[in-house]
Every structure is written in structure tokens, then in C-alpha cells.
């Protein structure tokens, strides 16, 4: 692993994820997770303080980055729900079918090499009535911003841990066989190429 990936990128990811606007989204969505919870791409663990012990029984929090998991460890210990940190890849989840009630994914789909594989895995490990909670930045609805996002992504992903600016998270989630009745998408605070956000809950389609 390069010096950049081990020391600089984890710091930058953690710093970006602590903006007021992003913390507000965490506070809004994460407490809704219930039962056995899987969080993919937990990163430095910035969501862990927001789980509600009255709803979440246990959080299994997965990420492929050992340096980010090291940052998450003190937050896992301080959380008010039991948290198990797992080093792993959301494209190959090391869990049995139908083992979670909720899945949480915040600012993660942008960075996964094959997001459609990770979403298929989430469908597999969620129980039939399970709920996916998501807050993801991605492709803007403004044509000028989209052009910028498409132009910048090849460079941006090289310095940001493979973060793509130009993914339509809503379309990816639907294509994976989930439906969402409350998905909202729009620009939040900050630079428009980075702040266009998809958020909501999704459930697997029957069948």
C-alpha cells in the first residue's frame, strides 16, 4: 500500500465526512437502522455514534481499508450499540443469505469498483423485508454539472480512493432489484459537482 493510501487518504476521507452538511445526513438516516445491521464501507466510522440502541441490536461494519478500520476502532468502542468491524469487500460479503434487517451505505457506492456486485450482495444478505438506508453523492441532474463530473472523474478517482462523481446511485439501486418510495436527489451544501446527493430507503422487489 502506498504512503498516500495508508496515511493521507484516510485523513482526507475522514475530514471530508465530518462537514456539517454530511453530519446532518448521518444524524437523519443512521438512527433508523434496526435489528441486525450491516454497514458497508464504514470508513473511519463516522456513522457509528448515530446508531440508536433502542432500534439496532448489533452493527457489523465492513471496509477493505485497514487504515480506515483502525480509525473506526475507537468509535466502535464508544458506540452505544455493539459494533463488529470486519475487513472485507462489499462485492463478496462473508455473510449468509438473509442475515441482516438493515443495511447502511453512506458515500460508499461511489468508491466500489463494481457497485452492481455490491448491491446484489446486499440484496442477498438482507432479509426479505430488510431495508437499505442510503446517502450517496453522484451524478447531478444539471447538464453542465454532469459534463464536469464526467470530465473530472478519471482524475478525481485516482486521488480520492476510486470515488466516481458520475454514478447515478438511484438508477444503480433500482437496477439491482430494489424499489425506493422515498428516494430524493438534489444538490446539498458545497460544490455542486460533489454535493449532488441521493438519499432514501430501499426494499428488495418481491421474487
Ligand X SMILES: C[S@@+](CC[C@H](N)C(=O)[O-])C[C@H]1O[C@@H](n2cnc3c(N)ncnc32)[C@H](O)[C@@H]1O
If the CB atoms of residues 88 and 128 are measured against ligand X, the closer one turns out to be: 88
How many residues lie near ligand X (CB under 6 A)? 23
Identify which range of 83-91, 139-147, 166-174, 177-185 contacts ligand X by CB under 6 A: 83-91
CB contact at 8 A, 14 and 43: yes
Identify which range of 38-46, 74-82, 150-158, 181-189 contacts ligand X by CB under 6 A: 38-46
Q: Does 41 bind ligand X (CB under 6 A)?
A: yes
Nearest-approach distance from CB 168 to ligand X, in angstroms = 17
If the CB atoms of residues 42 and 103 are measured against ligand X, the closer one turns out to be: 42
CB contact at 8 A, 99 and 130: no
How many Å apart are CA 175 and CA 25, to the nearest integer?
24
Closest by CA to 125, choosing from 108, 105, 110, is 105
Q: Does 38 bind ligand X (CB under 6 A)?
A: no
Closest by CA to 196, choosing from 159, 149, 156, is 149
Q: Does 13 bind ligand X (CB under 6 A)?
A: yes
What percent helix, strand, coil does the chain show, rounded to 5?
40, 25, 35
Closest by CA to 88, choosing from 58, 68, 116, is 68
Q: Does 43 bind ligand X (CB under 6 A)?
A: yes
Residue with nearest beta carbon to ligand X: 43
Identify which range of 107-115, 122-130, 138-146, 174-182 contacts ligand X by CB under 6 A: 107-115
**Contacts to ligand X from residues 157-186, by CB under 6 A:** 161, 163
Pull the grid cell for residue 185. 436527489
What sign does the dihedral 81-122-1-9 (CA atoms) show? negative
**Residues in the site for ligand X, rule: CB under 6 A?**
13, 17, 40-43, 46-47, 62-65, 68, 89-91, 106-108, 111-112, 161, 163
Amino acid at each position: 500500500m502506498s504512503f498516500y493510501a495508508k496515511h493521507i487518504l484516510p485523513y482526507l476521507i475522514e475530514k471530508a465526512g465530518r462537514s456539517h452538511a454530511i453530519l446532518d445526513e448521518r444524524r437523519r438516516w443512521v438512527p433508523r437502522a434496526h435489528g441486525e445491521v450491516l454497514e458497508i464501507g464504514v470508513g473511519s466510522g463516522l456513522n457509528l455514534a448515530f446508531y440508536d440502541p433502542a432500534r439496532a441490536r448489533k452493527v457489523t461494519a465492513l471496509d477493505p481499508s485497514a487504515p480506515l478500520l483502525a480509525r473506526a476502532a475507537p468509535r466502535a468502542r464508544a458506540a452505544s450499540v455493539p459494533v463488529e468491524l470486519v475487513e472485507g469487500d462489499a462485492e463478496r460479503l462473508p455473510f449468509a443469505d438473509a442475515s441482516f434487517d438493515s443495511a447502511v451505505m453512506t458515500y460508499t457506492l461511489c468508491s466500489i469498483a463494481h457497485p452492481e456486485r455490491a448491491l446484489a450482495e446486499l440484496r442477498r444478505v438482507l432479509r426479505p423485508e430488510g431495508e437499505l438506508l442510503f446517502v450517496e453523492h453522484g451524478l447531478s441532474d444539471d447538464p453542465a454539472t454532469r459534463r464536469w463530473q464526467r470530465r473530472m472523474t478519471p482524475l478525481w478517482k485516482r486521488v480520492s480512493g476510486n470515488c466516481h462523481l458520475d454514478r447515478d446511485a438511484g438508477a444503480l439501486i433500482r437496477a439491482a432489484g430494489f424499489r425506493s418510495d422515498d428516494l430524493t436527489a438534489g444538490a446539498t451544501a458545497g460544490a455542486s459537482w460533489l454535493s449532488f446527493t441521493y438519499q432514501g430507503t430501499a426494499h428488495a422487489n418481491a421474487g
